[in-house]
Structure 1
């Protein structure tokens, strides 16, 4: 890779690093302050109070059961609303291209996809949805889905710190009003300035230099684009996603994409440190996740720069440019692929199906671990789950009841964590086996790469990422329903179980710190934390990875 490529990656990550801590402090003040002490209260307070009054929201604390009930019921109501819009879009306004209503199983898949913060798309972006569906349906859920994630993340942080969980509706409104909306508005204006369209005008018909007619899709792209990246949503207005010049006009817009994807997810460890009363706790997790991120980035960039080893044997060495935008090059394509799966966003500026086997292994690994920063909210809850597992295993090794943030981790909490831990491999591996056995005709590649395609689809669904390897005939009832169910259960089962863990820890009396207390705010714990993720998380999926990308990589050396 050229020096310029490394410099561009370094400057991008440096900018993210500079923004992470102040953003985390702001989030902690938003979700852990009251009344006039909240930041920018003069600006956001009146809007917030108006919405509370309009929807009858009272700032009363909920139990974990009532919090979970409010979350699930609200999300299901929004799903039903958007499902109706998608099915009826052919008869509704703001449809200048005359796009018909969605087929039932596709509408089912799309609704669950965007409400679960996954944004998997089994339709062609610009030709599958009307402008009304893109705004009232998709963009609407792009705000409410990450707001739901934020709500549960901060409820979980409060609970494990021994404080009341809060109120779901209050957290939902504050997430949108005080965090997502203001940043997204500024980002949308920047995207328009950089060349992204923002219009309700219909598709433009133009005559090319060769004299042929071409249809150029446009629409309210910038507004969707800003919250797509900020809320770790993914998907895209256009079928080719962020490789399209309307979604990603130039290098500066690509930088804005990456910064937005990492902004909130890298700030959560710092917010966590403030809420639990120990900044060191947050810094240890941030450093540990940063190390894993850099490892993944190093593998991906090296693999894509090296290219196909079979070509090297023929004297044709060079980086792999297959499936990449020449405007962006190898460095920014590899960085984007790592960031979009580390942050559980799911947008793409290169086709992941064309990555080298090891380059494709990295996005898969990021989604399977779901802890390399993780997405907005729910991903960080997953990080804290692995931190608890690390504490529990350390306690077993020294024969002491494990304690996390001054509260004992006992059989109830570990059973709930075990259920959370095992549900993801079940949701990934079982449907993958079914698809490979009964629906091989929908897979475009035979052999190892075909296994990777199917594995990637269900991993992306279970991890609420939404990016795809592509190459699948996935616009069918089987794929629509199966991935829809995986997305739904992958999202909400873990939410409920981890809320139950927070509720259980909240009710416990704190244990005084002694000389035998295992500290979770030093480098020793950070090392154990990373080791736990790699041993417990990575080894769970190692056999299927051997059959997919690892085997494919080895065959290239024949």
Structure 2
């Protein structure tokens, strides 16, 4: 399918669904339960409040709201680590998989609690059914609800004046899961299961290969296939010489499990962690064009809805549409760049006389390396841009095989703090930080009063807005700088040079932006697992702390009347300035490291 047409269809469907979803989110933010859902979920909600002995009408200060977020998340890290390390003794483990080591359990627990879902393991051969369902799937819901809850607190801050209360985190958490995430994901999971995504609790199965293959074991459960080897009975020969250490593989493991239910929330909650190691490139997780469309739409659905819900919640729908326009323009620019770059292929392929990189009726053309033939370049490019824009991290193609330009676009989107729609809730409050910076800078340029949505922007708000915008770049650059000094750093990478640096940089970009997608080529060791875990934790909770502190200061301020000196934040000029500030901050923060990675690799490809 034509890339432009496919992109237009995806965006049109997502926007059409995001509009009613935005009204639902705004309604839940206001504490109003949807009538139809309240019939079923209302008694459950009240029962939860009684069970945990919390008052849903409580008004928490920003410090108490933050303390609740941190306490809930830290408890989740401990509980999830316990499940992962003890899974060998827990039920629903038909393959009798052992528990994870401390470093991998630490990395995985923080990854899912922070809505990052970075995976330093092969899911189907590492985690039991119990770990996947009772551990990871539960935190797919909880981490997404936490991000939306912080957005709710910020919305209330703009609505209120002269008060310290931002609502109850516990009530927000329960309502978001019961009235938004669970109903949405029930529908998505049923659609995916109907489309062929596996959903069962049966044991893993084996299938006989049509042609056995020879491979060498790495001693750690992995194998390297000997492409040119010949198999003679029970002997393996390579270039006419026997290879006694080679093994003959005649069966393939077909992992089973409740994948559809976890794939649904991994997409809609911008979590991204795959039930299978190959993520959405796996035929059991994303078997056909229909499921690929559903999953692609699901990546952007809730982030788009959150943007529009912000405008509804603050009683200024134009502001939500202005944010939406800025995000959509950046998204379309990224989509166009990646699609064109991938279809044009690498300079070497384009110049080759032996390989036809032009698209035709019989050939996809372009850079098909690392892509599933059933999806092709257009669907893979749209997914790649969507997942790095929306802080999702799920993949349906290998990012390690992207052209340098496409890889640069993916990294830039993460470097901008995931504000191009971004994660559920987190993308919106990140954009608010940039909007406050834009108002302040534009006010200095034209001599107008720095105000935003009726709130005067003073030094306190500016400080928290700066922290909110720069927290992610700081964590990424600090974490990667420290890791680069480790003696074992070269052993983590599959290659050296500019591409190897891109592999290294992408890992810290992905975890530091709470994205979780993998560029590939990284072989983590215990030190890297610990380092990336700390990066994920800092990149998640530093912006949350800044967003809640900003909300607390805004809630205490009285509203000011709009005057002739107030800068409009809903017109085309503001959208342009907002985009400019976002790009400038991202470029100034990361241009030097980009020059050493994808930019250098592209130059090498052009000039040899």
TM tier, smaller: over 0.9
User: Which residue of structure 2 aligns with residue 503 of structure 1?
Assistant: 552
Is the 1:320–1:356 Cα contact (8 Å) retained in structure 2? yes
User: Which residue of structure 1 aligns with residue 203 of structure 2?
Assistant: 202
Secondary structure in 2 matching 1:209 = strand
Is the 1:391–1:403 Cα contact (8 Å) retained in structure 2? yes
State which of 407, 428, 434 in structure 1 corresponds to 2:482: 434
Q: Deviations over 1:275-330 (max 9, x none)?
A: 11111111111011100000000010000000011222233451000000001000
Query: Which consecutive segments of 4 or more residues in structure 1 shift more than 6 A?
Result: none
Is the 1:353–1:469 Cα contact (8 Å) retained in structure 2? yes
Deviates more, 1:536-545 or 1:382-391: 536-545
Tell me if 1:125 matches 2:123.
Answer: yes
User: Which residue of structure 2 aligns with residue 549 of structure 1?
Assistant: 598
In structure 2, what is the Cα distance between the partners aligned to 1:537 and 1:54?
A: 45
In structure 1, what is the Cα distance between the partners aligned to 2:424 and 2:206?
A: 39
State which of 364, 379, 401 in structure 2 corresponds to 1:354: 401
Deviates more, 1:337-346 or 1:207-216: 207-216
User: Which residue of structure 1 aligns with residue 388 of structure 2?
Assistant: 341
Deviates more, 1:37-46 or 1:352-361: 37-46
**Higher helix proportion:** 1
Tell me if 1:443 matches 2:443.
Answer: no
Question: Aligned-pair RMSD on alpha carbons?
Answer: 1.4
38 and 57 in structure 1: CA distance in 2 versus 1, 3 angstrom threshold:
farther
In structure 1, what is the Cα distance between the partners aligned to 2:563 and 2:475?
A: 41
1:539 deviates by: 2.2
User: Which residue of structure 2 aligns with residue 190 of structure 1?
Assistant: 191
In structure 1, what is the Cα distance between the partners aligned to 2:468 and 2:390?
A: 20
Secondary structure in 2 matching 1:172 = helix
Note the residue ranges of structure 1 that are not aligned, 5 or more in a row: none
Is the 1:300–1:359 Cα contact (8 Å) retained in structure 2? yes
In structure 1, what is the Cα distance between the partners aligned to 2:211 and 2:321?
A: 58
State which of 317, 330, 336 in structure 2 corresponds to 1:292: 330
Question: For the pair shown, which has the larger CA radius of gyration, 1 or 2?
Answer: 2
Is the 1:26–1:39 Cα contact (8 Å) retained in structure 2? no
Matches within 5 A, 1:245-284: 245-284=283-322
1:400 deviates by: 3.8
User: Which residue of structure 2 aligns with residue 167 of structure 1?
Assistant: 168
In structure 2, what is the Cα distance between the partners aligned to 1:8 and 1:422?
A: 35
In structure 2, what is the Cα distance between the partners aligned to 1:497 and 1:391?
A: 18
554 and 227 in structure 1: CA distance in 2 versus 1, 3 angstrom threshold:
same
99 and 506 in structure 1: CA distance in 2 versus 1, 3 angstrom threshold:
same
In structure 1, what is the Cα distance between the partners aligned to 2:211 and 2:498?
A: 41
Secondary structure in 1 matching 2:160 = coil
1:112 deviates by: 0.1
Is the 1:30–1:38 Cα contact (8 Å) retained in structure 2? no
Deviates more, 1:158-167 or 1:291-300: 158-167
Secondary structure in 1 matching 2:206 = strand
User: Which residue of structure 1 aligns with residue 217 of structure 2?
Assistant: none
User: Which residue of structure 2 aligns with residue 153 of structure 1?
Assistant: 151
In structure 1, what is the Cα distance between the partners aligned to 2:327 and 2:116?
A: 22
Is the 2:449–2:565 Cα contact (8 Å) retained in structure 1? no
User: Which residue of structure 1 aligns with residue 269 of structure 2?
Assistant: 231
1:270 deviates by: 1.4
User: Which residue of structure 2 aligns with residue 45 of structure 1?
Assistant: 42
Is the 1:29–1:39 Cα contact (8 Å) retained in structure 2? no
TM-score (norm 1): 0.97
Secondary structure in 2 matching 1:200 = coil
In structure 1, what is the Cα distance between the partners aligned to 2:35 and 2:526?
A: 48
In structure 2, what is the Cα distance between the partners aligned to 1:302 and 1:398?
A: 39
Secondary structure in 1 matching 2:597 = helix
Deviates more, 1:315-324 or 1:167-176: 315-324
1:173 deviates by: 0.3
Tell me if 1:77 matches 2:91.
Answer: no
In structure 2, what is the Cα distance between the partners aligned to 1:190 and 1:400?
A: 51
TM-score (norm 2): 0.89
Note the residue ranges of structure 2 that are not aligned, 5 or more in a row: 213-249, 358-365
In structure 2, what is the Cα distance between the partners aligned to 1:240 and 1:88?
A: 25
1:160 deviates by: 2.7
User: Which residue of structure 2 aligns with residue 312 of structure 1?
Assistant: 350
Deviates more, 1:10-19 or 1:224-233: 10-19
Is the 1:262–1:343 Cα contact (8 Å) retained in structure 2? yes
In structure 2, what is the Cα distance between the partners aligned to 1:399 and 1:511?
A: 18
Secondary structure in 2 matching 1:207 = strand
